[in-house]
Structure 1
Amino acid sequence: MPRQKIAFLASEVPIALKAKSTLEKRYGSGSVEDADVIVALGGDGFMLQTLHATQHNPAPVYGMNRGTVGFMLNEFSEDDLLERLDAAEEEIINPLRMTALCVDGSMHEALAINEVSLLRAGPQAAKLRITVDGKLRMEELVCDGALVATPAGSTAYNYSAHGPILPIGSDVLALTAMSAFRPRRWRGALLPKRAVVRFDVRNPEKRPVMSDADAKSVRNVASVEIRSEPDVAHKILFDPGHGLEERLIREQFV
């Protein structure tokens, strides 16, 4: 049976707000708490916001593109929405948990669906020590930054930094450097999904570094630990044949 209780959410751009108003008049709209499915109208950024905001809600999220980038979204149409929701295929993704220790001793946590990144915050390159599962893997990476990406986020910032595209079912993470100076042109690493990655910032006062988890930024970090968070499962709906796995494969042949 088609899902009947729909909650429509939209970004603040006019085209998304207009779509929300049109769809609500046609299909009705309930609260997020009571909804069987949440329909998000916007771009990938708004889709990420919606997933974070509704992560404790059992309803899956079906996104329709009313923004600029729509990798995580379905094509927009006002017609046959109930039938599309009934036929949609569900993907479940786990976010990353970032735990950042700052130079002043404060601790900060955040979840990231796409990636956790570390970026230099001054004129000099960052110097990072990399530990995986408690074992030192690289004494010093001199770079503009580094990130750990999920398969869902592997076509975003990770791909722009020349990192690999990861199939959704691969259960691996990508560790990718941005503008690596030493080791020269280091290509990064593929790690098991269960891996715990730790970056220690060398000389953070002279070479300040910031960390970012899906646009939540923390400045002046001394160390950052990143791990997959299996207790949080984001449920995303896609039209048949247009799920994340198909999109990830298709992206590699563009």
Structure 2
Amino acid sequence: MRFKKISFLASKAEMAQDARAALVQRYGHVSPVQADLIVALGGDGFMLSTLHETQGLRAPVYGMNRGTVGFLMNEYSEDGLEDRLALAEETVIHPLRMTAHGVDGEEREGLAINEVSLLRKGPQAAKLRILVDGKERLSELVCDGALLATPAGSTAYNYSAHGPILPIGAEILALTAVAAFRPRRWRGALLPMRAKVRIEVLESDKRPVQAVADSFDARAVEWVEIQSAPDISHRLLFDPEHGLEERLIREQFV
């Protein structure tokens, strides 16, 4: 597919801004609303923010790494961009929808492409109760936190917390504990993509917990409900042989 109208977006990093200036001069630029394609220049954090900000637009997003890790990005090059875009392969992912109920009674909603995490905000470990589709699965998890990750986000915070890497096409979510103290050997769980997960904070006044959906946060929560949002789709483009599926497999053999 040939993309005639391209919008170039860049993080605030000098390297990303310089790349944007060079690409705009060479290939032109339109606003994201007018674009057939959006090119995101930065790291994974900038890619996530770009996907969130443009989720209502029809244009897919092609990232080029001008950050650090760049797991969601393609390699950067100014040359042959139009040919690369014509050959790029599309991956469609769906975010998680989080509803967080605060101790103040307020409810807040957020979307997470990578994961929803609950993290302790005080000196004492958090105490969490976990329910899946309305059924209690863990009456008390004592930990620094817990997270629910999508396949696309399974190599991020989830993997650092010793959670599993999930194939991009898997209809599975990873529920992973962060520094679990009790049950000490609990290694988390794999759940169907359609599962509705509720995590309740026990002793929330004494053991405050913050909920985070990507960069959206809700402080001092009493409970959080999380489930996939199939009504929202993000379209990402990757160079052939360097798509998310290949990267997820490759990551497990590093």
The reply to whether TM is greater than 0.5 is yes
5+ residue gaps, structure 2, are: none
Is 1:36–1:59's contact at 8 Å kept on the other side of the alignment? yes
Cα deviations by residue, 1:21-69 (Å, 9 ceiling, x for unpaired)? 0000000001101100000000000000000000000100000000112
Structure 2 match to 1:74: 74
- d(CA) in 1 for partners of 2:69 and 2:13? 13
TM-score (norm 1): 0.99
Structure 2 match to 1:236: 236
- Show the 5 A alignment for 1:53-202: 53-202=53-202
Between the aligned residues of both structures, percent identity stands at 69
- d(CA) in 2 for partners of 1:34 and 1:4? 11
Cα deviations by residue, 1:175-213 (Å, 9 ceiling, x for unpaired)? 000111111121000000000000000010001000001
Displacement after TM superposition at 1:244 (Å): 0.3
1:226 corresponds to 2:221: no
- Tell me the C-alpha RMSD between the 2 structures: 0.6
Is 1:23–1:78's contact at 8 Å kept on the other side of the alignment? yes
- d(CA) in 1 for partners of 2:186 and 2:136? 16
Is 1:179–1:185's contact at 8 Å kept on the other side of the alignment? no
Displacement after TM superposition at 1:155 (Å): 0.2
Q: Secondary structure at the match of 1:169?
A: coil
1:208 corresponds to 2:222: no
Displacement after TM superposition at 1:137 (Å): 0.5
Aligned residues: 254
Q: Secondary structure at the match of 1:211?
A: strand
TM-score (norm 2): 0.99
5+ residue gaps, structure 1, are: none
